[in-house]
Amino acid sequence: MEELAPGVWHPRGRPNWIINVYLAGDVLIDAATKYSAGLILGQLDGRELSELALTHVHPDHQGSAKEICEERSIPLACHEDDVDAMEGRRPTQEASPRHPANIIARRLFQGPPRKVDRVLREGDEVAGFKVIHAPGHARGQVIYFRESDRVAISGDIINNMHTLTGVPGLHEPPKVYTYDPEENRRSARKLAALKPSLICPGHGKPIRDMDKFQRFVEKLPDP
């Protein structure tokens, strides 16, 4: 694993940096796809885990949640607006559900429903990070923000790679996966207003050039 900031690690993916999970203290953040549990848990062998917290409940972020929670006997947490999706009462992906890209994502990535043990709300704390609701890409998407050093774990508000080509660069999440792009832009502005020092996105390498990130957000179309 690579340490990105004090107490924040990145377990390697396969391929690396395509679908990210993070370890903040003893809390695993996100669970990648339904085939990722072995790779993730193998890198966490010998480490204590207290919780699995999701940035949002999409197939490529909740995929191994049930398996990891059961294997390590830990609770599952997500924002209150994504509880129904995680527990199987609402589709995990509301944007363009019949689009081929989403049909494939559900078949390849989505894991089984699982009871949410801890319902997160605005202002809660996870591993020293404040929970900030940032919907648009998903109803219950959140930013985990640590005020002491301004590190943000931000889910898919902004990607640092092109999701089709894998080429590095700042992008909005594709509309086919985003139920409300205008709301997501408001969430991107909310992220920028935090003045982060480091952004750990759901896809792509960590964002460290904050001037470039701020310029990117400033150029987004107004909602």
Question: What are the pLDDT digits (tens) for 192-217?
Answer: 999 999 999 999 999 999 999 999 99
Residue 148 has phi, psi (to 5 degrees) of -60, -40
Distances 158 to 133, 172, 214 between C-alpha atoms, Å: 15, 5, 12
Instruction: Return d(Cα 60, Cα 190) in angstroms, integer.
Output: 24
Structure tokens at 9: 């690690």
CA-CA-CA-CA torsion sign (15, 18, 24, 28): negative
pLDDT given at position 70 = 97
Instruction: Write down the H helix ranges in 3-82.
Output: 37-43, 59-62, 65-72
With a pLDDT cut of 70, the percent of the chain lying above it is 100
Q: What is the mean pLDDT of residues 152-166?
A: 93
Give residue 222's pLDDT. 79
* pLDDT average, residue stretch 39-46: 96
DSSP state of 34: T
Q: Which CATH number fits domain 2-218: 3.20.20.80, 3.60.15.10, 1.10.287.40, 3.40.1010.10?
A: 3.60.15.10
Decide: 26 and 127 in contact? Cβ < 8 Å: yes
* Nearest to 178, CA basis, from 203, 156, 159, 161: 156
Say whether 79 sits in a helix, a strand or coil: strand
Q: What is the band of 164 on the pLDDT scale with cuts at 50, 70, 90? A: confident
Q: How confident is the model at residue 172 (pLDDT cuts 50, 70, 90)?
A: very high
The predicted pLDDT at position 170 comes to: 97
- 27-42 average pLDDT score: 97
Which token pair is 100?
């081929």
Question: What's the pLDDT at 168?
Answer: 93
Average pLDDT value for the chain: 96
**Is the pLDDT confidence value at 223 over 80?**
no
* Of 5-9, 99-103, 192-196, 207-211, the least confident: 99-103
Residue 134 has pLDDT above 70, yes or no: yes
